[in-house]
Amino acid sequence: MPQGTTEIPLKQQVLHENQRIAERLRNRYRDANLLCVNMISAPGSGKTSLLEKTLEILGDEASPLRVAVLTGDVQTDNDARRLARYGYPVKQITTGGCCHLDGSMIERHLADWDLSILDILFIENVGNLVCPASYDLGEHDKIVLLSVTEGEDKPLKYPSIFHKASLFLMTKVDLLGLVPFDALVAEQNAARIHDGIEVIRCSAVSYHGMEDWIRWLKKRLHAVRANNCRETVTH
Amino acid sequence: MHELALAESIAQAVRRTMEELPGRTPVQVRLRLGVLAAVDLAALQFGFAVAARESGWDGLVLEAVCVPAELLCVECGARTETRVAHGDCPVCGSSRTMLHGSDELEMESLEVVDGNTEHASRNDGDSPEATGAA
Ligand SMILES: Nc1nc2c(ncn2[C@@H]2O[C@H](COP(=O)(O)OP(=O)(O)OP(=O)(O)O)[C@@H](O)[C@H]2O)c(=O)[nH]1
Ligand SMILES: [Mg+2]
Ligand SMILES: [Zn+2]
């Protein structure tokens, strides 16, 4: 090293500020005893459509779960308007050009919400398969959606999100047979990046797989609450 | 393109660190980058160069050490190191592989030199401040 040169250790996450906010959000979700899922996909893979059908099904149940949606978009509030029809609280986050949601956007939009009345908080991220993967929103689960019109190789091309997601929702499976897409190969590719990732094949048109998806949500909600309960006992 | 936002976070950390170091000039930030970090290094470096120039540090560069991942072959059992997130087994060629890697994106260290001139990094020794102290 040349004279007068000093190496200063930084040892700091580039996203440490977002990480700090995510920690605060995690605490809020835990205090509210709710499940938060962060839904991530490329533009148009069917996030809003799936959420519409999810709200419709949940609303028809005998004792409906209490849910709410934050939906991110670069420009419009179309998605929020589509989702608001089901009578649940919905808020649009318009990022004004930003390609992902970050912790501070979530915190700002949740500021005046009483989370304690909720069972599940859905976050629909901005349509983008790369950038949202880097931003922790304090969620319990990242969920990646890939539609059958996008190609089986996408888990290999966008490994980060498949690595971090606990569930892979293969969407638009009503189109299988109409498009040359090998669902098994797509699942194998996802497993190469994330051994043991859960997969549900679903469709917002035919309702195929919707029961499995709702069951998955309830299973996760129970698991999160059981875990919160254990933590309360041990603390 | 969240690389611009990441570049700005790094520049901010540099600015904060440099506040404590009057009379010095930053010349290099070293980053640790996991295979699964989902970051385009070229875009990050471009964004960082812009942010650095705005702060008056023309010679400040961003270097990244890639943290390799492990590729486990299901077919032959070979464990090999990889710097890309997908690929076939280099031992037997099988595509039945599994990846174990990290998504870390960490600022490891900052290299600074004595002197306040923006040329300090390039013409080490030319400027009186750079040769004088320490
Ligand atoms: N055939 C078929 N089409 C679908 C399905 N789900 C969504 N679509 C269509 O796909 C298009 C995009 O759906 P959206 O739900 O808006 O997708 P999105 O992921 O919310 O899109 P962005 O929020 O813009 O990223 C629409 O034209 C939908 O009608 C499905 O299950 N089957
Ligand atoms: Mg949408
Ligand atoms: Zn092999």
pLDDT of residue A1: 56
- The predicted-structure confidence for B91-130, as pLDDT tens digits, reads as follows 999 988 888 888 899 999 999 999 875 444 444 444 444 3
Residue A7 in any domain: the answer is no
Chain B nearest-CA residue for A17: B9
Counting atoms of ligand 1 from 1, which one is nearest the CA of A45? 19
Residue A137 lies in a domain: yes
Name the residue in chain A with its Cα closest to that of B9. Answer: A14
Q: Confirm whether A174 is domain-assigned.
A: yes
Of B5, B6, B38, the CB nearest to A160: B38
Closest C-alpha to B46, from B103, B8, B85, B84: B8
For residue A140, tell me if it sits in a domain. yes
Nearest CA of chain B to the CA of A192: how many Å?
4
Residue numbers of the domain that contains A55: 14-230
Across the range A69-87, mean pLDDT stands at 95
Question: Which residues share a beta bridge with B70?
Answer: B81, B100
SS3 for B23-77, per residue?
CEEEEEEEEEEECCCCCCHHHHHHHHHHHHHHCCCCCCEEEEEEECEEEEECCCC
Domain count, chain A: 1
Two structure tokens written together for B117:
């001139």
Percent of chain A residues past pLDDT 90, beyond the cut: 91
Q: What is the mean pLDDT of residues A183-209?
A: 96
> Higher-confidence residue: A233 or A26?
A26
Q: How far is the centre of ligand 1, averaged over its atoms, from the C-alpha of A177 (Å)?
A: 18
The model carries a pTM of 0.89
**DSSP H/E element including A105:** helix A103-110
Q: Is residue A22 part of a domain?
A: yes
Note whether A10 contacts B108, CB cutoff 8 Å: yes
Q: Which atom from ligand 1 is nearest to the alpha carbon of A128? A: 25
Give domain B3-67+102-120's CATH architecture: 2-Layer Sandwich (3.30)
In a domain, A207, yes or no: yes
pLDDT of residue A132 exceeding 90, the answer is yes
| Cβ <8 Å between A192 and B9 | no
Q: For all residues of chain B together, what is the average pLDDT?
A: 85
Determine whether the interchain pair B107/A130 forms a contact, defined as Cβ–Cβ distance below 8 Å: no
- Look up the ipTM and state it: 0.75
> Tell me, what CATH number does A197's domain have?
3.40.50.300
Give domain status of residue A67, yes or no.
Answer: yes
Note whether B39 contacts A10, CB cutoff 8 Å.
no
Query: Chain A contact for B31, CB < 8 A?
Result: yes
Q: Is it the case that residue A29 has pLDDT exceeding 70?
A: yes
User: At which residue do the structure tokens 């908080």 appear?
Assistant: A121
| Residue B1 at interface with chain A, using a CB cutoff of 8 Å | yes
* Ligand number nearest to the C-alpha of A204: 1
Provide the residue ranges of all domains of chain B, joining segments of one domain with +.
3-67+102-120
Residue A138 within any structural domain of the chain: yes
Question: Residue range A111-125: average pLDDT?
Answer: 97
Q: What are the structure tokens assigned to A79, written together?
A: 């998605």
Q: Is the pLDDT of residue B72 over 50?
A: yes
* pLDDT computed for residue B115 by the predictor: 82
What is the CB < 6 Å shell around ligand 1? A 41, 43-49, 79, 127, 171-172, 174-175, 203-205
